[in-house]
Structure 1
């Protein structure tokens, strides 16, 4: 639905005479090696599709978009509903703009274009400059704000669902070994059904 709103409000978004950099510039993350990470719950976003490790502090505010900077997945655009440590990635976060969801949908819509702008033969790279030079239409701040207002409840619902899923997975992962080992038992009624 967020993409449908976007397509309706911002048709031909890639066919303009201005650039994304006239509106926003992603920031470079700060390298953090796995061996230097202090154990915690903050995802460390490097060049892959999922967290490289977890740290005890973030360097972004949620929601946050990360754009993988190097490797096979250079240019991968992802949205995080929790603060992250942006390492080998660029980012756009809530501290930079209240319109994170707008920029996420725009960049995700243009994912192939971002991949196609990779530089480097041995190891592909995407830098903030690759994003800032992408053409776009002349954007109206009021329309961007209206879009953000419309889609924020959708993205918040997704964030709440993801949080609930992670908690349920933790419960499953805690209880299943105990059930399998017989440490805990599920009471059965007289007919053998779970009561």
Structure 2
């Protein structure tokens, strides 16, 4: 375990302690500081993955973790950094008393929320298409990797579509809401015909 890994884990653990203490002594800003510290730890993990071009995830049912290298690791790193920034932003909005105003802005312009979700799908899709390192050479392993990569390709396509819809909604407010309402009414009409 490297010094950077210990730092990242330490930040997340410290954030957890701050949240626990802030909740127990009823100090909301201490709780928010804990949330922001966890967010910073997640950003540090993402930055570490981008800089090292390597990230490993442990799985319960496997003796060894799943390792991503190169562009796949960078995609995971950017995804984690984006997630960490969102966590820190939520904590900052709460501390500054802007949470309700921010929610109103997102309700009025859902593309502001949908675009980052699309970016998350794109980054996860890239990591899926490239796939993790796999030293196993069995037919089952090759088949599971093909399915995993195909799933990544689908997620990548949905991510691009989501970002396009978000940009469209930001340029023409209400577009996304009308699209969702139209799809919902079409789905309900279809269900009524079937049922």
> TM-score, normalized by length of structure 1?
0.29
Query: Which of structures 1 and 2 has the larger relative contact order (alpha carbons within 8 angstroms, sep 6+)?
Result: 1
More strand by share: 1
